[in-house]
Structure 1
Amino acid sequence: MGENMASRSVATGRARGDPANSESAQQLVQAAIDLMRERDTLDVSFVDIAERAGHPQGLIGYYFGNKQGLLVAALERSIARALAQLESLLAADYDPVEKMRMHLNGIAEAYYRFPFFNRLLQAMVRDGSPEYAARLTQRLIQPMMDAQAAIIDAGVAQGVFRPVDKKLFYFATVGAADGLNAARFILGGALGQEIDAESSKRNAAAIIDFFLAGLMSRD
């Protein structure tokens, strides 16, 4: 594979390589993730990503077609571990209350580790191509919604949870998990409080207490 082929991919906007089987492609994805996390912005350039990864920027076009393709890969990589853990949680022999507790803690932890995630997901679904929007909905959003709904349904069936609007509950929990990270400049600049592992744990505990209290059956 030469740089000329990579350059042609940038021009056409079509990926020609297989990023899943390329160490170079995965290094580019990780570089994009690291830069967005460190700078707390979605505005990272091909030049910066390629420089951080140590590869020619033409490889981004070769493996991902364009920046949208790279950012979709960054989203999928960021949430991959959380989705795998969620699948294991659903299969585990825990009661619905404990499953929801662990699930909410996992959401808070994921948003602390990847504070750009919700902003990037919203931007890609809103501004990306219909193909990318459908892909992200199918691979990232729907599995999370379905898993959370399954936990709620199990709790309702056992009489420990009350029926709720599951879609609204999902977006409320995601918003709460993202809220602390979205306010990092207010916390840091105006209030002098940095978001660290300890504050993230307190945020997770507050989310768990708040949403579990709202879910519990009142009978």
Structure 2
Amino acid sequence: MIPHKPRVVLLATTLLLTGCGTGAVATPGDKPAAAVRTATAPPRPTAAATPLPRELPGLGPQTLARVPAHTWQAVVVTGHGKDSARSDVVLYERTGTGWKAGERWPAHNALRGWTDHHSAGDLRSPVGVFTLSDAGGLRPDPGTRLPYDHGQGFTATGTGFEGEPLAGSFDYVVAIDYNRRPGTTPLDWTRPLGAGRGGGIWFHVDHGGPTQGCVSLSLEHMRTLLRTLDPARHPVVVMGDAASLAR
């Protein structure tokens, strides 16, 4: 979670908010050269292309029901365990024949893992399906189609849970639309569910340790994510531990 004043991020000692057979020539015995024959192996059958999954892999019926029918981009964050601070991220693109998976990226999530009912300061990331509508960062826009807020308000200072420096964590961010108002800067402090339900849940640059609620990726992967997300494809994030997502 991020303690916040309008367009200013204040961090001290913690992070965010409380993937041939050619023929052989044989010359038998005393036969003249005219008797030499060339045998060519029959062509090998071409392997059929593996069909794309019709549904997002690893998701159960309850989770799938929450993915909007008009969504054509889904970032699936799968936690290693209910109480684990590590997860894997895969960006899926819907095609006319199914969902195509991108590379698998390592990530961090909140220190204490995941929860179905996130509250401010619980040090758990919220389980759910959320839209992705806004981005920003301390660095200039890398070429995203999302609205991008560039400014000093994304300065991060202090250290994380393992003593790692937080500087650069907010060089690039994508706001996760949990308890926030879509269509505003990630720094907007509006909390539709109330302050007690937390907020300021972002994708941001990984600093080498757990977060307070966000999902963090390497700088390179954040840049790729920003350049790939397209509002016209109605992107969402599907996030949680594997068991929760399989429901």
User: TM-score higher than 0.5 here?
Assistant: no
Q: Give the structure-1-normalised TM-score.
A: 0.23
Q: Give the structure-2-normalised TM-score.
A: 0.21
Structure with the higher fraction of residues in strand conformation: 2
Relative contact order: is structure 1 or structure 2 higher (C-alpha 8 Å, sep ≥ 6)? 2
Max Rg structure: 2
